[in-house]
Amino acid sequence: MRTGSIGRGLGLATALAALLTAVFMAPASANRAAPADGAQAVKAATVAAPASFTHPGVLVSRPQLDFVRAKVQAGAQPWKSAYDQMLASKYASLTRTAKPRAIVECGSYSNPNYGCTDEREDAIAAYTLALAWYITQDSRYAQKSIEIMDAWSAVIQDHTNSNAPLQTGWAGSSWPRAAEIIKYTYSSWPNSGRFATMLRNVYLPKVINGSNSNGNWELSMTEAAIGIAVFLEDRTAYDKAVTKFRGRVPAYIYITADGALPKTAPGSGLDTRDEIIGYWQGQSTFMDGLSQETCRDLTHTGYGISAISHIAETSRIQGQDLYPEIAERLRHALGLHAKYQLGAAVPSTLCGGTLKDNLGPITEVGFNALHNRMGIAMTNTQTLTEQQRPAGSNNLFVAWETLTHANNPN
């Protein structure tokens, strides 16, 4: 069913949210996992891709960009300091030379690292330069962004080794953001078709089927898939990515309504209590907002939360708002981890009383959507978000989100 308008009406959105809540919140047995998270019901509830895609429409929209541009021109904070931070970064350099490779080989723990850092950082640079172009209307930034995208689209053929799916997801999340801004706001990009072919042939096949690895892998891969689908106007890929998202989010963030055990992602193969607890890093006490990777470290948890926010943001721009379906999980995840990053004592029942690392610059998009647009009180998340401003880049797939999403009403 491809109406392109389902989910736009308030009544239908409410009904959809209620249906998905019923699917995702069915109680699980204390000894056995729930069936693969109601996979058939999820499939039946999937809303079709939009009849007409919105451009630019990956993570940022034209109204959002116009809001940011006006704030920076007015010298308003926190946007001006965020813009200055971005422009001073290596990613905004007009002398940058792209470093494309035919085969990007990425092993576990970056061993080997043949082109992995170069690819991710060139993709972030292309996006950074596209943002600089839109805000300044200085064509030099657009031309440099195009130069970087053209360099890679002329060369790359594949990603290999054990981290290939994750690498493809990270770089593949940044490329469409840049491409959308340039293609739909700049006067000319002769090789945009070749870039689209690169995304379709090199990136999309690696990410579209997801991963049964840790949740941040599949969420980053799904983010890349949905962004690429928007740029390619590929409704089939878009629908598949949304279905993957709907199966993975409840398997990544626990809420008490889930029952004694967390949900499992369709196809995960996790069907006993011991298997699920093992997958959740040995954590056997579950609480609102706990992530499948909380007890691993907050940084990987941040990757997952960030990808969830990015996917929901893109879907909202495309007229199919996924935030209502995942708002309860996302708000609790942001709040729980922000609370402990801010210094609250970690109870012994949570990861043995010790949490490692930090979330990174990943709270702006979700906080703006849930708190500013939806009116949800998020005290801990607000405190952490404001402390971290201006949020920079994690040098993987997150960049400049204070600039793009702080208090952005569009």
- State pLDDT tens for residues 214-250: 999 999 999 999 999 999 999 999 999 999 999 999 9
What pLDDT score was predicted for residue 198?
Answer: 99
Interacting residues of 363 by C-beta distance below 8 A, sequence separation 6+: 305, 334, 338, 381, 384, 385, 388, 391
What pLDDT score was predicted for residue 47?
Answer: 59
pLDDT tens digit string along 264-281? 999 999 999 999 999 999
**pLDDT category of residue 17 using cuts at 50, 70 and 90:** very low
How many Å separate Cα 366 from the centre of its chain? 10
In angstroms, the CA 130 to CA 146 distance is 9
Q: What's the mean per-residue pLDDT of the chain?
A: 91
What pLDDT score was predicted for residue 73?
Answer: 98
| 177 neighbors 130 (Cβ within 8 angstroms) | yes
| 313 neighbors 365 (Cβ within 8 angstroms) | yes
Which of 18-22, 175-179, 240-244, 355-359 is predicted least confidently? Answer: 18-22
- Helix 116-136 with 139-153: angle, nearest 10 deg: 150
Q: What are phi and psi of 141, to 5 degrees?
A: -70, -40
Average pLDDT over residues 248-259: 98
Tally of residues, the chain? 410
Q: What Cα–Cα distance (Å) separates residue 267 from each residue in 65, 114, 215, 406? A: 39, 31, 13, 37
What pLDDT score was predicted for residue 15?
Answer: 42
What pLDDT score was predicted for residue 46?
Answer: 55
pLDDT tens digit string along 116-154? 999 999 999 999 999 999 999 999 999 999 999 999 999
> Among 267, 265, 243, 237, which Cα is nearest to 253's?
265
What pLDDT score was predicted for residue 26?
Answer: 35
**pLDDT category of residue 23 using cuts at 50, 70 and 90:** very low
Amino acid letter, 240: K
**pLDDT category of residue 6 using cuts at 50, 70 and 90:** very low
| 217 neighbors 163 (Cβ within 8 angstroms) | no
Average pLDDT over residues 28-51: 48
What pLDDT score was predicted for residue 31?
Answer: 34
Average pLDDT over residues 373-391: 98
Percent of the chain clearing pLDDT 90 (strictly above): 87
